[in-house]
Structure 1
């Protein structure tokens, strides 16, 4: 089915009756289905799964996806027990991030967030009535005439900050990190907070430090499950590192010439913050 009206007819509250033409960003949880050559599978590969996607979202024809000229892309949520067809494999998107082309990585992040939004808003959070999606518009509307609330994809702001002290940078590790892995500190923005207020609070709560001279750096969508990372640089302004026992296993200031060996990969904003910190001090990072 190639035309939009037929695609809409195939949808029943987000479910797919049979695969359509085009390329698919098909997820089993947060695992993306790719061919053995690292490309997106086509509709016939979805048919070879032997099961129907639980729900779909149209992504249009994104030119940056490397999916083939003129081919539409679709996001699909697959059953938890789906097995990959021959010539394909499931891989967690976090493991793929540093290996996917930029355009495909951004598209995969959007696809995963839309699938999560679609799954989590099948029913109205205000009254409990079923919701419906009109065509490909990214909004689910409550079917109760007395409610009618609209549910859009959720975005949760998160601050992430490189705290600098001369040629040192503050890095920490949470209890769920891989052994030896460190990163810049981050935390969600609370209701009623500005990003700057959240930054001061998080650094105080997590490591008992004061910071000053906040400088906005960049932002990055992070689809686990629906965050928007807001990156900052800040200067140390006092205090001793005291880790919050329930959040931070270890944190310390690391000299630019003695950074931990295991740090965030190049697709992450934490990596960008570290690289910029080193660049401004005349160092190449990661080292050659």
Structure 2
């Protein structure tokens, strides 16, 4: 990682502030781009509700919500915009979207309904009446790629792009470990049993507020039985005959490709 890719999170600008700043501006949940680039004004609009994110390389970074798209800029769905951004900016766009949504969703206290206020020097909102404090939260979710010999078990949910498949995924329930979640979700979604869980990696995922934790697991028994309403189709694919899979901007895209390469290396 180069110094330009190093991100240092913060809630207030360091001194001195950078002359230019990465600015992740959103209109109705869509990210503003100009010729595929993130908006970088030296002085963000003063009237826009904005939040400082930290410093990426030598530049400060902000996120803000605008009422309308400025002249010369285009609004793009976040998922599509993330595909065209380099990885450091992709991660920042994810962070920016989640901070803005957290701020919007907690403008009022969830306990007593009083308008909340930002907490100085913290990423938090506090109720002045009952002192209930809310920090940005994420929902842990597991992802499991099951392998058997030279095959990978891939599935598709209703609404996927036609012909596209991915690894299994699901949210962690209260009181459940990540490993317990893998075994439960695999059994529920496709009806098979696995062993030998291996941690692969994680990715912050802003759809809506998740931390995707990815594993590989070896099939140990059971026939595929797709869960009605959740899994439209699931099947075994040879590593040299994979269907459409997610692009590399998502951890599932990396997980599937890297696991296929690993299985090829085993012969």
Verify same fold: TM over 0.5: yes
What secondary structure, in the 3-state scheme, does the structure 1 residue paired with 2:263 have?
coil
What secondary structure, in the 3-state scheme, does the structure 1 residue paired with 2:117 have?
strand
What residue number does 1:270 align with? 252
> Deviation of residue 280 (structure 1)?
1.0
Choose which of 201, 206, 209 in structure 2 pairs with 1:218. Answer: 201
Choose which of 238, 241, 248 in structure 2 pairs with 1:255. Answer: 238
What residue number does 1:75 align with? 63
1:6-45 paired onto structure 2 within 5 Å = 22-36=21-35, 38-42=37-41
> Deviation of residue 136 (structure 1)?
5.1
Q: How many residues align?
A: 249
Cα deviations across residues 207-250 of structure 1 (Å, max 9, x unaligned)?
Answer: 11111111111010001121000000001111111111111100
What residue number does 1:85 align with? 71
Structure 1 residue 282 corresponds to structure 2 residue 264: yes
TM-score in terms of structure 1 length:
0.81
Native 8 Å contact 2:150 2:264 kept in 1:
no
Native 8 Å contact 2:27 2:69 kept in 1:
no
Structure 1 residue 230 corresponds to structure 2 residue 213: yes
What secondary structure, in the 3-state scheme, does the structure 1 residue paired with 2:83 have?
coil
Choose which of 49, 74, 85 in structure 2 pairs with 1:100. Answer: 85
Gaps of 5+ in 1: 5-19, 64-68, 284-288
Gaps of 5+ in 2: 1-11, 14-18
> Deviation of residue 46 (structure 1)?
5.2
Structure 1 residue 171 corresponds to structure 2 residue 154: yes
What residue number does 2:7 align with? none
TM-score in terms of structure 2 length:
0.87
Distance, in Å, in 2 between the alignment partners of 1:227 and 1:185 is 15
What secondary structure, in the 3-state scheme, does the structure 1 residue paired with 2:207 have?
coil
